[in-house]
Structure 1
C-alpha cells in the first residue's frame, strides 16, 4: 500500500496537472492533497480520481500539512508514503521502481531518485549534514568562487550523481519513505514553518536506517528557489535554519562530524 501527499498554497491547478496525471497513472493508492490556501479553490481536484483526497487546512506550515497526510497514511495502513512537491512530475514506473527498491532493502528508510531540471540537467540535492557556513555562507558569503567550491563539496558533485549511495541529507521535494521507520522516529517537526524540516527528518531517519540516493529512476522538478526571490520566504528560511542549529548544534555537533566522515569515506573509496 502506497500513499502520497502534496501541500499546496494558492497553487494554480494548471501547475498541478502534470503531477496529478503522474499520480493517477501510478501505483499510488491514495494521494492526500493538503491545501493550505486561504480558500478552497482546489477542492474540485478531488473529483478527478477516487485516489485523491482533498483536505483544506489552516496554513500552519509545510511540515504540518504533510503530517496531516502521514497520519492518514498510517491509519490507511500504508507501507510506503511519498512526500512530493507540487512542481514534480515524471515518466515511467518511478513509484513502482522505488517501492521495489525498498522491498529489496529492508534496512533503508528513505530513498530519493535522481532529480532533474525540466531541461534534463541534474539538481544537486544529495548533501552532507550542513555546517552554518554551508547554509548561511551560500547566501551571504561575498566570495563567490570560494562559495562555489564549498557548495561542490557539500553537494557531493565529485560523485557524478550516477551511482547508488547513502547520503545523510536528501531533499524534501521527493521523499519515498518507509512508514514503519516514521513510526519509530516521528514525523516532521512542526517548529519549522517552512525549510529545514526535510533535513531534520532525514537526519532522524538516518539514525535508525539508511537514507539512499537511487539514480536508476528520475523525476523532474521545476525548482524555483523561492527564498532567493521573496523576502518573506527568505525570513522563513533563516528562522528555520536557526531552529535547526539550535536543535542539533552550531559549531559542536559530533554526530554531524561522524556522519559526514562516514559518508565521504564510503564515497571516496
Structure 2
C-alpha cells in the first residue's frame, strides 16, 4: 500500500531548534532513514539567538549540508508556535508533521499513518504511539485541560489523586485501538496541511507550552485528532519546565492565556 501511495504523500516536517543541533541531526537522520518511500521536505526553524550561533557553527553546517533540509535562522527566540507557523507558510507537503527535536523514527510509520488518513477523511490529524527509550508508552494523550488537573499536576505529590491523573491521561482507554484525543502532546502530530492552514496554525499568543492543547482543541472543533496505535515513535521526553524556573514561568503564563481563552 505504501508504494502505490507514494506519489501523493508529500510530507513537510517542521522542527523548531534552540541550541539542540546534535539532537536535531539525529532526528533528521531517523526521518530520512524511515521515509525513503516518500517525497518530503524538512524545515528547521532556528530560534537560537544570534550571539550563540558561532558556538554551533559545525553542527549548523552539518544540517545545511543535508539535501532535503531547509534551515531558517530567526536569530532570536520567537517561540514554539510562531516558529512552526513560519514553516507552515513554506510547507509544500500534503501532510504537515509537527516534530520535536527529541523524536526518533524507528520504523516506516508513514506507510501506515498516511493510507489510514486517506481512507478516513474525517480524521484531520493523527498522533501515533509515543514511547520512551525503554519502549514504554508515554502519558501524552489527555482530556482537555482543566484548572483542577493543572493544580493536581503541579502542587500535589504524584501518589495523590491517582484516579484523577489516570482519567486526565486517558488511562481508561483501550490503547490497542484508535480513539479520539482531546489533547495530544505536540511532540509528534501528523496533520493535513490544508487543515493546519485553515486553522492559521498555532495561536502565537502562547510563547511556549500549552499551544499544543489549544491547537488540538481547535482541530477537534472542525475535524478529529486520533490516536493511532499501529506504529510507534520514540520521544526522549525532557520535561524541562519542571526543572527550570524560567521555563516554569512561561508554562504558568501560557496556562493563564489558555484558561482566559477556553474557560476553566
TM over 0.5: yes
Q: How high is the TM-score relative to the length of structure 1? A: 0.87
- 1:124-144 Cα deviation digits (max 9, x unpaired): 1111111101123211135x4
Aligned to 1:259: none
* Structural RMSD (CA): 1.5
CA contact (8 A) 2:126 2:191 kept: yes
CA distance in 2, matches of 1:158, 1:213: 14
CA contact (8 A) 2:25 2:63 kept: no
Aligned to 1:240: 254
The alpha-carbon deviation at position 12 of structure 1 amounts to 4.0
**5 Å matches for 1:141-160?**
141=156, 144-160=158-174
Aligned to 1:34: 45
Aligned to 1:168: 182
| In the alignment, structure 1 residue 49 sits paired with structure 2 residue 60 | no
Structure 2 unaligned residues grouped into runs of 5+: 1-9
**5 Å matches for 1:126-141?**
126-141=141-156
Structure 1 unaligned residues grouped into runs of 5+: 251-269
- Decide whether aligned partners of structure 1 residues 244 and 137 sit closer, same or farther in structure 2, where only a CA change above 3 A counts: same
Aligned to 1:9: 18
CA contact (8 A) 2:126 2:226 kept: yes
CA distance in 2, matches of 1:66, 1:45: 21
Q: How high is the TM-score relative to the length of structure 2? A: 0.88
CA distance in 2, matches of 1:146, 1:221: 26
Q: Secondary structure at the match of 1:145?
A: coil
Q: Secondary structure at the match of 1:213?
A: strand
Aligned to 1:262: none
Aligned to 1:195: 209
Q: After the TM superposition, which parts of structure 1 deviate over 6 Å for at least 4 consecutive aligned residues?
A: none
Q: Secondary structure at the match of 1:158?
A: coil
Aligned to 1:72: 90
Q: Secondary structure at the match of 2:160?
A: helix
Aligned length: 245
- Decide whether aligned partners of structure 1 residues 247 and 51 sit closer, same or farther in structure 2, where only a CA change above 3 A counts: same
| In the alignment, structure 1 residue 205 sits paired with structure 2 residue 219 | yes
CA distance in 2, matches of 1:8, 1:46: 11
CA contact (8 A) 1:45 1:52 kept: no
The alpha-carbon deviation at position 45 of structure 1 amounts to 3.5
- 1:106-130 Cα deviation digits (max 9, x unpaired): 1111100000010111101111111
CA contact (8 A) 1:24 1:49 kept: no
CA contact (8 A) 1:4 1:28 kept: no
CA distance in 2, matches of 1:79, 1:141: 43
CA distance in 1, matches of 2:29, 2:199: 32
